[in-house]
Amino acid sequence: MTAVVQELLNTFDQLTDSERLEFVSEILKRIIHLDAPPLSDQDLVLNAEGLFLELDKQESAHE
């Protein structure tokens, strides 16, 4: 992850809930117009694995 992306994510984390919703809405509007190739099955599996690992970590922290 680049430093710029990390900085954007850090800033996002500091937003209020309504600001986050507004931000996400704008990002989704822009993503629709990207000409990106579809993700491969391997890409989807790796992303899903990362998400589940992060969810497990968050659940463990709340126990």
Tens digits of pLDDT across the chain (63 residues): 899 999 999 999 999 999 999 999 999 998 888 888 888 999 999 889 989 999 999 899 887
Q: How many domains does the chain have?
A: 1
Q: What is the 3-state secondary structure (H, E, C) of 10-50?
A: HHHHCCCHHHHHHHHHHHHHHHCCCCCCCCCHHHHHHHHHH
pTM for this structure?
A: 0.54
Helix (H, G, I), strand (E, B) or coil at 36: coil
Residue 34 domain boundaries: 3-62
pLDDT at 35: 83
pLDDT at 33: 82
pLDDT at 62: 84
Q: What is the chain's alpha carbon radius of gyration, rounded to the nearest angstrom?
A: 15
pLDDT at 12: 96
